[in-house]
Structure 1
Amino acid sequence: MLLRPRQKLFVERSLRALAEHGNTLGVAPTGAGKTIMLSATVGEQIGSTAAKAAVLAHRDELTTQNRTKFRRVNPGISTSVVDATTKAWDGQVTFAMVPTLARAANLDAMPALDLLVVDEAHHVIADSYRRIIDQALKRNPVCRIYGVTATPNRGDKRGLRAVFSNVADQIRLGELIGSGHLVPPRTFVIDVGVQDELRKVPRAGDDFDMGAVARVMDTVPVTDAVIRHWRERACDRQTVVFCSTVAHAEHFAAAFQQAGVPAVLVTGDMPDAERRAMLAAYASGKAQVVVNVAVLTEGWDHSPTSCVVLLRPSSFKCTMIQMVGRGLRTVDPTEFPRVVKRDCIVLDFGTSSQIHGSLEQDVNLDLQPGTGEAPTKTCSSCEAEVPISVMECPICGHAFEPGGTEVTPLTDFVMTEIDLLRRSSFQWCDLFGDDAALVANGFNGWGGIFFLNGRWHAVGGGKGERTRLLAVGERLVCLAAADDWLNERETDESAHKSKAWLRQPPTDKQLIHLPLATRADLGMTRYQASALLTFQFNRHTIRSLVMAAGGSSLAEAA
């Protein structure tokens, strides 16, 4: 399996920080491939040694998922499991359930570890995690502690300084948007006549007083204005709405329903079964809108969601990004046929955008890894070493000053397109010279993107695998999906982008199977011939998949 270039950089920085500090935290949002990067870091750290490692998770499904992905990244490293039914330490890497391992008898059986990895590392300050970490350091004082998380800033504002002294790397939402792994937001900052009042709302602790926010926002005129603006800009989109209080959410969900829009309500004090039923109604499309109060900020995703409505301000930029992030996932067309998602509309009726500025202000969209050490700065609150672009400390949540730069409202996202064709591990061939069909081959799989009827379609196939539709929509999203398909099936040896034979003339066997028109191309290379043959052999399947996704026909260029 191959890592994306940005994933490789994340792993390199994590290894460097572990070597320097003995501990480090890596921060990566949904879409970054957090488990893949965790697995690659562990493999690089212990793979060529006799060292032992453990990977902690707090749920059964995470333990299973982490172990499965680890094996794909590191097929030569043995693994074992410690959970409610099995307690085996015979693997070089053991995947352990925290509630099980934290029990005294199981901790006593834990061998000396050289590396302890914590998935969802914002949990490390919990007593159960601390017992495991303390035992690991007792058994081996030089055991390295590595944590990864998408949400380092906890809701209770407790920092992670007790375990981590530094942040190795932080992948931003803007980077994933720029690489085609998330869709871009199109944000509208809308004043319905209350922004001056919202700016006067006091704080209650670290965040705004949500009761005071509700007194401003939870009125019939404001609600009617919000629904009117939503109808104008996003009435055909599945939408998640973030409110200030439970009463505010109840009133807003009722207003949607009275306006004839199917809406469901999700709150923190709902019974689990009722909450699951509401989310299931939204996931199935029976409800178009889901209204909530801080319940769906993290840990929930429904990728067809393409509108986010903010009816509350947030004092923390990470909270605003988490809310916006609920609408940025790309859509798998096999899971949601005929859903084409190009962007996400964000309707901000609060003041978060004026407070925090645009999402792209403090991210690096250039994504040029460069060489040397990653620039860092020291947090004045907890003295952690963190990436220089961070605007909130991932260890303690301290907000850095913007350095005198003007903060502008969040408007349409200006995306810098990264040249994935150049940075890919594979050589992508423009099949017919019109930039409408590109194909790349590996030893075990192939990927292609095809432009029809105003949108792109990504298709992937491979040895012993059913050819499938990977993505539909923007070119960059489709290219990223096809490139990831190949990354998952190939290795450094099979990527062969720089191999000399790629530029050699086609073989006689290739020429026999190529159409007459293409044989006349004296400049054709062996790899171009291979890409053309891949398309030719799979043309009918590709055409069927594209037509089923809404395209009318595939050009008969071959």
Structure 2
Amino acid sequence: MLSDLSPPSSPLSLMLRPYQEECVQQVLSVHQQRPKGGKALVVLPTGCGKTIVFTETARRLKVKTLVIAHRQELLQQAADKFRLVDPTAVIGQIGAGRHEWGAPITVASIQTISRPEHLKNLKQCGYQLVIIDESHHAATDAYKTVLHALSDAFVLGVTATPDRLDKQRIESLFGEPVFSTTIIEMVEQGYLCDLRAIAIRTVTSLDAVRTQGGDFKTRELEEAVDTPERNLRIVHAYQEHGKDRQAICFAVTIEHAEHLAQAFQAEGIRSAVVSGETPPEVRKRTLQAYARDELQALCNVSVLTEGYDHSATSCVIMARPTKSRALYVQSIGRGARLAPGKRDCVIIDVTDNCLKHRLQPQVLQLALGLETRNGESLTEACQRLRAEATETPISAQEERGEQTTKVSARTTDLFVNILAPMDWKRLKSGAYALEVGEQKHRIALVPSALKTGYYAVWAKLAPDFKPQQWLKESPLEWAQTHAEMKACLLQTSAKKRVLVDSNAPWRSYPASVKQVYLLRKYGIPFEAEITSGEASDLIGEEKARRAQAKAEQSPPPRTTRTKRTTSRGKVTA
């Protein structure tokens, strides 16, 4: 049994992903330059750990912290994450009938603290760090009033979608992002699952629907799209493209959501509705049933666009036409999170008949700025566009999204790529199980009996297979990351081998701008003519080395690289 796989100490030793660590470091650097009155903006796609980044930032700064959000669910999530990082944290709440001023960490509702009677308390509490969750909302008067009252504090804004329908730029409040990445980059790096959009055409016309505040007028839109024919078309599209997948369906109004749920149920598909008017206890039971896979489709109105996480969701149905890129990206983000055994998420894009350009509905390629063909995933689109750019045809095998992976022998110690999907199996109990290596070490993600979406990490290692807990109950994303880091460590300790997709055509393309940036960032020597495949190998080795060092809870040693010959006969450092 490996001694470096012992259970973590308390408080939780959180293993950040490389980009999360870089993000935290960037924020800390800005704070060091201007701790009073300074500002920083972080843009991370849904599912990439915004809450992890800001809780870890606050933990390292160790200053009096105020977290502001516009919804109660977001406040509860922030408080839960703080307690996971540090179980001894004292956290107060302002909002929802609670007024717990003076705690070292306070989570607060903007609707409450922006009231005149609370602004005096804000000034007296001496907050040194203010975190604004979903900061694209911060251009409103309520946020501006609060920030004016806390002018001496350092302000960190985090969001997945910095753009707004009213065209106001939140950069005017925070400055340009100190760290920003995109859904496409996160998918390519393996931190979000692949997205595959299916455009479903309908004969519904949106030409008569007017706009208000930059988006379709709700009542007019409902009258246009909430028809039995269109709702049945959506259900049939799900049966064709999303069968056996858990789906979240976004509707225009509560009545529209109810009609969609009825259409699903009529076809034998277990479904339910949640909205802002659903009683809290009913909503909780419904979301728990969905988390337990007792429901296949969850129809909702607005409430699941922000702050809701169920990583196993692998189908998103956009039954609500929108002109808002932010709303669209937030919606599809509900299906972009990684989960054990999950390979991709199908986006069912309901594109209605629309002749007026000003009423053009959002579709995946417009929202993400990437030209995708119907049924093509983001990864396949990126591969095709690279091939077209270099006038290199894509093989039939690659068009099918297939890859041949083989183990290549090396003379030096290399590591398994931590971004490679692992073969998790879903058990009837709701747990996920993974076997590692020839010795068949066993790792399991065991669901919490009390908290939906939380899992503990347990392991049984050869040769005695005695159970040991590696991580207490944590969000699935954290638990999976922790388990896979340890699984990589098991593999590297036993095998000293790396999985390399040596036949992929992209490996012969020139290194991308992102790869060159990472090579320089990590201090890796390279030639000007380095290929994408060679750059990927070097970056992967360096990331794996750093991940192993972090898993072993010791400072990473300085890298000493020996010269080796590339596949083209050139020598690299």
Residue number in structure 2 paired with 1:265: 273
Residue identity opposite 2:376 in structure 1: T
Residue number in structure 2 paired with 1:55: 66
Residue number in structure 1 paired with 2:535: none
The offset of 1:198, in angstroms, is: 3.5
Residue number in structure 1 paired with 2:150: 136
Q: 1:233 aligns with which of 238, 241, 253?
A: 241
Q: 1:248 aligns with which of 252, 256, 270?
A: 256
Distance 1:227 1:500 in 2: 55
Q: Which runs of 5+ in 2 are unaligned?
A: 1-13, 353-358, 384-404, 408-412, 424-433, 446-456, 462-466, 474-478, 490-545, 563-573
Distance 2:43 2:252 in 1: 27
Residue identity opposite 1:350 in structure 2: T
SS in 1 for 2:282: helix
Note if contact 1:354-1:407 (Cα within 8 Å) is conserved in structure 2: no
Residue number in structure 2 paired with 1:514: none
SS in 1 for 2:16: coil
SS in 2 for 1:318: helix
Residue identity opposite 1:110 in structure 2: C
Q: TM-score, normalised by structure 2?
A: 0.57
The offset of 1:8, in angstroms, is: 3.1
Residue number in structure 2 paired with 1:372: none
Note if contact 2:271-2:296 (Cα within 8 Å) is conserved in structure 1: yes
Map 1:270-419 → 2, pairs under 5 A: 270-331=278-339, 340-350=341-351, 355-358=362-365, 361-362=368-369, 411-414=376-379
Note if contact 1:10-1:37 (Cα within 8 Å) is conserved in structure 2: yes
More relative contact order, 1 or 2 (CA 8 Å, 6+ apart): 1
SS in 2 for 1:192: strand
Aligned CA distance change for structure 1 residues 343 and 169 (closer, same or farther; 3 Å):
same
Distance 1:261 1:321 in 2: 26
Tell whether 2:152 aligns with 1:167.
no
Note if contact 1:54-1:115 (Cα within 8 Å) is conserved in structure 2: yes
SS in 2 for 1:264: strand
Once the two structures are superposed, what CA deviation does each residue of 1:136-174 show, in whole Å capped at 9, x if it has no partner? 32xx4xx43222233545788876467434332333222
Aligned CA distance change for structure 1 residues 480 and 62 (closer, same or farther; 3 Å):
closer
Map 1:530-549 → 2, pairs under 5 A: none
Residue number in structure 2 paired with 1:14: 27
Residue number in structure 1 paired with 2:215: 207
Residue number in structure 1 paired with 2:516: none
Aligned CA distance change for structure 1 residues 168 and 264 (closer, same or farther; 3 Å):
same
Tell whether 2:83 aligns with 1:68.
yes
Distance 2:558 2:468 in 1: 26
Note if contact 1:261-1:289 (Cα within 8 Å) is conserved in structure 2: yes
Aligned CA distance change for structure 1 residues 449 and 122 (closer, same or farther; 3 Å):
farther
Residue identity opposite 2:292 in structure 1: S
The offset of 1:355, in angstroms, is: 4.3
Note if contact 2:165-2:214 (Cα within 8 Å) is conserved in structure 1: no
Residue number in structure 2 paired with 1:28: 44
SS in 2 for 1:269: coil
Distance 1:436 1:298 in 2: 28
Note if contact 1:184-1:328 (Cα within 8 Å) is conserved in structure 2: yes
Note if contact 1:32-1:171 (Cα within 8 Å) is conserved in structure 2: no
Note if contact 1:189-1:349 (Cα within 8 Å) is conserved in structure 2: yes
Aligned CA distance change for structure 1 residues 313 and 465 (closer, same or farther; 3 Å):
same
Distance 2:313 2:558 in 1: 42
Note if contact 2:184-2:378 (Cα within 8 Å) is conserved in structure 1: no
Residue identity opposite 1:8 in structure 2: E
Once the two structures are superposed, what CA deviation does each residue of 1:247-276 show, in whole Å capped at 9, x if it has no partner? 322222112212222221223333333333
The offset of 1:206, in angstroms, is: 0.6
Residue number in structure 2 paired with 1:466: 469
Aligned CA distance change for structure 1 residues 209 and 496 (closer, same or farther; 3 Å):
same
Distance 1:120 1:167 in 2: 14
Residue number in structure 1 paired with 2:158: 148
Aligned CA distance change for structure 1 residues 177 and 86 (closer, same or farther; 3 Å):
same
The offset of 1:295, in angstroms, is: 2.5
Distance 1:346 1:220 in 2: 21
Residue identity opposite 1:14 in structure 2: V
Note if contact 1:181-1:480 (Cα within 8 Å) is conserved in structure 2: no
Once the two structures are superposed, what CA deviation does each residue of 1:63-88 show, in whole Å capped at 9, x if it has no partner? 5335335549xx9xx98868768655
The offset of 1:497, in angstroms, is: 5.8
The offset of 1:124, in angstroms, is: 4.2
- The worse-fitting range, judged by mean Cα deviation, of 198-207 and 306-315 is 198-207
Tell whether 2:156 aligns with 1:181.
no
Note if contact 1:330-1:341 (Cα within 8 Å) is conserved in structure 2: yes
Note if contact 1:308-1:327 (Cα within 8 Å) is conserved in structure 2: yes
Distance 1:155 1:274 in 2: 32
Distance 1:479 1:157 in 2: 37
The offset of 1:299, in angstroms, is: 1.8
Distance 1:227 1:79 in 2: 47
The offset of 1:9, in angstroms, is: 3.1
Q: 2:201 aligns with which of 191, 208, 211?
A: 191
Note if contact 1:354-1:409 (Cα within 8 Å) is conserved in structure 2: no
Residue identity opposite 2:365 in structure 1: S
Aligned CA distance change for structure 1 residues 85 and 341 (closer, same or farther; 3 Å):
same
What's the Cα RMSD here?
A: 5.0
SS in 2 for 1:270: coil
Note if contact 1:180-1:480 (Cα within 8 Å) is conserved in structure 2: no
Distance 1:322 1:430 in 2: 32
Note if contact 2:444-2:458 (Cα within 8 Å) is conserved in structure 1: no
Residue identity opposite 2:379 in structure 1: V
Distance 1:467 1:273 in 2: 33
Give the paired residue count.
408
Residue identity opposite 1:411 in structure 2: E
SS in 1 for 2:178: strand
Aligned CA distance change for structure 1 residues 182 and 109 (closer, same or farther; 3 Å):
same
The offset of 1:188, in angstroms, is: 0.8
Distance 1:192 1:410 in 2: 17
Aligned CA distance change for structure 1 residues 250 and 42 (closer, same or farther; 3 Å):
closer
Distance 1:153 1:360 in 2: 11
Q: TM-score, normalised by structure 1?
A: 0.58
Distance 1:156 1:354 in 2: 17
SS in 2 for 1:358: helix
Residue number in structure 2 paired with 1:440: none
SS in 1 for 2:338: coil
Note if contact 2:329-2:367 (Cα within 8 Å) is conserved in structure 1: no
Distance 2:472 2:93 in 1: 37
Distance 2:364 2:245 in 1: 25
The offset of 1:116, in angstroms, is: 3.3
Query: Percent identity among equivalent residues?
Result: 26
Distance 2:415 2:162 in 1: 41
Aligned CA distance change for structure 1 residues 17 and 353 (closer, same or farther; 3 Å):
farther
Distance 1:146 1:284 in 2: 35
Aligned CA distance change for structure 1 residues 316 and 500 (closer, same or farther; 3 Å):
closer
